Structure 1
Amino acid sequence: MSEQKKPNEGRRQLLKNIGLTMAAGAVAAGTTTVANAAGDKPENKKETKTTGYRETQHIRDYYETL
């Protein structure tokens, strides 16, 4: 009876490390996403206003084939 089995500490440590690794990966992924979102700056592009539909010569030629 003096001989008792001790729990396997290596297995417990492995499970703890897996959990910590997953948590660290989630935090790293979250901060990367936030950093990318914060780094995006909208560019000042001039919006070109279109006049809409234009009937050009190649459009007229197509309509004649119908």
Structure 2
Amino acid sequence: MSEQNKPNQSRRQLLKNIGLSVAASTVISGTATAVQAKVEQPENNKNDNTTGYRETQHVRDYYETL
């Protein structure tokens, strides 16, 4: 009967380990997010030859037909 009154130590240890694992993973994921959030500043290059949208005369002519 004395064995029935003793608490199960392995079960308590398992619950402690689960709690510590969750806390540790939360801290690690928060640190990893802060490291990944670093933003690099683009270089200011005045001679940038981009081929983006340009409103030229034939584009304006098309817009007038709409």
**TM surpasses 0.5:** yes
**SS of equivalent to 2:34:** helix
1:37 deviates by 2.8
List gaps (5 residues or longer) in structure 1: none
Partner of 2:17: 17
**What TM-score, normalized by structure 2, do the two folds share?**
0.62
Distance in 1 (alpha carbons) for counterparts of 2:42 and 2:58: 36
Partner of 2:42: 43
Q: Does 1:57 align with 2:58?
A: yes
CA RMSD between the two structures: 2.6
List gaps (5 residues or longer) in structure 2: 49-53
Identity %: 40
**SS of equivalent to 2:37:** helix
- Structure 1 runs of 4+ aligned residues shifted over 6 Å read none
Distance in 2 (alpha carbons) for counterparts of 1:19 and 1:42: 40
1:43 deviates by 2.2
Matched residue count: 58
Change (3 A) 1:60 1:43: same
**What TM-score, normalized by structure 1, do the two folds share?**
0.62
